[in-house]
């Protein structure tokens, strides 16, 4: 039977022409990244507050789903620190200490996040992801790293995890120094030394796998569990089966809210990785496809009992440096993880929990970039503020509250900046052909008696139309009071959209100025703006000969009005040289 390739995902169709010379690189990269991803998946499951096997259940379906729908050839999708800690904080708030409910809630969050992302992608809402600016993501991730490290310190030291906010947990840890288990702390500290030292000396070696195996061997040989060192315990083997995680309807509000946050954070890190490691041009269509691909990965993970996922910057970098050419490397990693689930979960029972915590701390430590905060402060103060608000919000309010605070601050900043539009008086640039510029930057530019040329420095829309056009009105009426002003030429080049509020305010401006004997000419009114003004009736109010393609043409028409022709103050014609 012939395959209907038109309905097959694009990534599958390209496999028909897969270059065999790329096979060794993809297979090797898949093996190496699996060696990095499997131990971290175990750790991230612990961070998310669910059994370690949930991390293993997550990898194969997420990797396979992204391989089918993703745009990047090297992006590695799976459990990531940001999503894991966010999921854990949401689940702990909703589960009330019930471990079985925690597992169902974790998968329900992944499923719901997947639905959100797929729907957003199909509706072409990829542009929404841009509201999570890089400074926000930087501060948010830094805050999460602090929470993760503080959360893993008790396990590193052999203590139960304290309750409360960040400050309360730190105080509990400091007050409980005398209760640290020396052997547990020694094993954890040794693992950290190997991880950080080995990464510096031989960065291509999968040190997390080395530490994982060494921890299991040491624990088995030295019977660490009999000497007060907490171990992971029995890990169920076998392949996961698809199922729907059912939760109480009363928890659905929290699940949906949490899923929105998980979707936003996961896609933010994923898009950052795509932009960093993609050889192809990234555009709005790419963002939409990535929303669908990440949503499919979340859906697949949730259906198979996994957790929310995201595109991992660190593992994508490892994948690319290991020689991956296509998503066949991700498929290879998925197969390796399935093999672990089938044949190797029994060995994980002896893994010291402190080693798992060391792997998590090492995995997230490099995500903190202090130099980025310094760079933001140097480049633009608002970016530094956004990063610090995100960082402080996460530490004070938790991951979800911190994210919402940072996004709200960013949106408010955007609205505030959009309202800060100045109105410049324009003059003709003597040294350029038909060019006009602000008198504020060069007062010697040529102006014309009886004609005032004004240009808003930014786009007009409903939030700033009243303020900006009131400024135009004040300037024009003040000039008219001085005598001699016959016309205002208003340049709308910066405005590429038009709404009813703005068109109404423009109409009001025209009527007010005409009552004071001042005519209005609009110039550089393009596309949708012109259509809306025509439908609003403003162009009819203006009458013929009041809409022009350039400032020079508008000034020439204003000067040729019936009440006489004034000479330019410098004796030059406004469209001279045009």
- Three-state SS for 164-181 is CCHHHHHHHHHHCHHHCC
* pLDDT at res. 132: 67
Contact, 231 vs 224, CB < 8 A?
A: yes
List beta partners, residue 436. Answer: 428
The phi and psi torsions of 327 (rounded to 5 degrees) equal -70, 5
Helix (H, G, I), strand (E, B) or coil at 446: strand
Give dist(CA 538, CA 212) in Å, integer. Answer: 72
| Three-state DSSP state, 435 | coil
Give the tokens for residue 233. Answer: 């315990």
Domains of the chain: which residue ranges?
25-236+245-413, 423-559
Which parts of the chain have pLDDT scores under 70?
1-16, 129-132, 276, 278-285, 562-578
Q: Please count the other Cβ atoms lying within 10 Å of the Cβ belonging to residue 114.
A: 29
Helix axes 23-47, 328-343, angle to 10 degrees: 50
* 455 SS3 class: strand
Mapped onto helix, strand or coil, the DSSP state of residue 481 is: helix
Structure tokens, 345: 């979960």
- CA 246 to centroid of chain Cα atoms: 30
Q: Look up residue 364 and give its two tokens.
A: 């997230």
125-137 burial, b at 16+ Cβ within 10 Å, e below that, comes to ebeebeebbebbb
Geometric angle at alpha carbon 234, from 233 and 235, rounded to 5°: 115
Alpha carbons 189 and 158: distance in angstroms, whole number: 12
pLDDT at 278: 63
Query: Are 9 and 46 within 8 A, CB to CB?
Result: no
Q: How far is CA 344 from CA 43, 231, 330, 558, in A?
A: 16, 16, 20, 84
Structure tokens at 366: 């490099």
The helix (run of H) or strand (run of E) holding residue 192 is helix 182-201
- Given the DSSP bridges, would you call strands 436-438 and 423-428 parallel, antiparallel or unpaired? antiparallel
pTM, two decimal places:
0.71
Beta-carbon neighbour count of residue 511 at 10 Å?
A: 11
> Which of 414, 353, 1 lies closest to 191 in space, CA to CA?
353
Other CB atoms within 10 Å distance of the CB of residue 340? 20
Burial class (CB in 10 A: 0-12, 13-18, 19+), 22: middle
- Read out DSSP for 261-313? HHHHHHHHHHHHHHHHH-SSPP-HHHHHHHHHHHHHHHHHHHHTT----EE-H
In this structure, how many other beta carbons lie within 10 angstroms of the beta carbon of residue 536? 18
Distance CA 111, CA 105 (A): 10
Quick count: other Cβ atoms within 10 Å of Cβ 455?
A: 22
In the CATH scheme, what is the code of domain 423-559? 3.30.750.24
Instruction: Label the pairing between strands 310-311 and 487-491.
Output: unpaired
d(CA 260, CA 89): 14
Rounded to whole angstroms, the Cα distance separating 287 from 275 reads 10
Closest CA to 49 of 95, 118, 111, 14: 95
What does the alpha-carbon distance between residue 211 and residue 375 come to, in Å, rounded to a whole number? 35
User: What's the confidence (pLDDT) of residue 316?
Assistant: 86
Mention every residue, 6+ apart, whose C-beta is less than 8 A from residue 315: 33, 36, 37, 40, 76, 78
Whole-number Å distance between alpha carbons of 521 and 550: 11
Host H or E run for residue 472: helix 465-482
């Amino acid at each position: 039977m012939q395959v209907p390739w038109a309905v097959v995902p694009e990534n599958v169709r390209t496999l028909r022409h897969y270059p065999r010379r790329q096979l060794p690189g993809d297979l090797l990269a898949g093996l190496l990244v699996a060696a990095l991803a499997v131990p971290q998946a175990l750790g991230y499951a612990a961070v998310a507050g669910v059994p370690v096997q949930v991390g293993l259940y997550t990898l194969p379906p997420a990797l396979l789903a992204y391989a089918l729908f993703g745009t990047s050839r090297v992006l590695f999708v799976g459990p990531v620190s940001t999503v894991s800690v966010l999921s854990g904080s949401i689940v702990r708030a909703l589960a009330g200490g019930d471990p079985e409910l925690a597992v169902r809630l974790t998968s329900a969050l992944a499923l719901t996040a997947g639905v959100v992302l797929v729907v957003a992608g199909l509706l072409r809402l990829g542009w929404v992801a841009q509201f999570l600016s890089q400074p926000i993501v930087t501060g948010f991730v830094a805050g999460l790293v602090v929470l993760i490290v503080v959360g893993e310190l008790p396990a590193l030291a052999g203590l139960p995890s304290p309750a409360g906010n960040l400050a309360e947990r730190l105080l509990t840890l400091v007050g409980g120094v005398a209760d640290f288990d020396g052997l547990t702390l020694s094993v954890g500290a040794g693992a950290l030394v190997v991880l950080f030292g080995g990464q510096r000396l031989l960065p291509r070696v999968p040190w997390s796998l080395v530490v994982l195996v060494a921890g299991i061997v040491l624990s088995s040989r030295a019977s660490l569990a009999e000497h007060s060192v907490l171990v992971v315990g029995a890990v169920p083997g076998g392949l996961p089966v698809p199922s729907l995680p059912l939760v109480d309807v009363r928890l659905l509000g929290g699940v949906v809210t949490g899923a929105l946050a998980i979707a936003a954070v996961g896609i933010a890190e994923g898009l950052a990785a795509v932009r960093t490691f993609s050889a192809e041009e990234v555009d709005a269509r790419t963002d939409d496809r990535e929303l669908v691909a990440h949503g499919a990965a979340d859906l697949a993970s949730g259906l198979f009992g996994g957790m929310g996922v995201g595109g991992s910057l660190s593992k994508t970098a490892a994948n690319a440096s290991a020689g991956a050419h296509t998503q066949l490397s991700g498929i290879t990693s998925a197969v390796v993880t399935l093999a672990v689930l089938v044949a190797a979960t029994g060995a994980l029972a002896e893994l010291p929990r402190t080693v798992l915590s060391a792997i998590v701390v090492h995995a997230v430590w490099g995500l903190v970039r202090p130099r980025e905060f310094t760079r933001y402060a140097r480049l633009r103060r608002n970016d530094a503020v956004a990063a610090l608000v995100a960082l402080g919000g996460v530490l004070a309010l938790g991951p979800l509250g911190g994210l919402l605070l940072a996004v709200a601050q960013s949106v408010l900043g955007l609205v505030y900046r959009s309202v800060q539009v100045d109105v410049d008086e324009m003059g003709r640039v003597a040294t350029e052909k038909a060019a006009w510029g602000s008198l504020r930057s060069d007062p010697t530019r040529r102006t014309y008696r009886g004609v005032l040329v004004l240009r808003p420095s930014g786009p007009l829309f409903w939030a700033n139309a009243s303020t900006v056009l009131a400024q135009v009105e004040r300037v024009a009426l003040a000039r008219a009071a001085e005598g001699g002003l016959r016309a205002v030429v208003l340049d709308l080049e910066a405005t590429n959209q038009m709404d009813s509020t703005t068109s109404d305010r423009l109409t009001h401006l025209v009527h007010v100025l005409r009552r004071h004997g001042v005519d209005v000419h609009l110039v550089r009114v393009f596309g949708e703006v012109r259509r809306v003004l025509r439908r609003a009736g403003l162009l009819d109010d203006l009458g013929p000969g009041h809409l022009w393609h350039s400032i020079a043409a508008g000034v020439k028409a204003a000067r040729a009005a019936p009440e006489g022709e004034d000479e330019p103050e410098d004796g030059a014609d406004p469209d001279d040289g045009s």
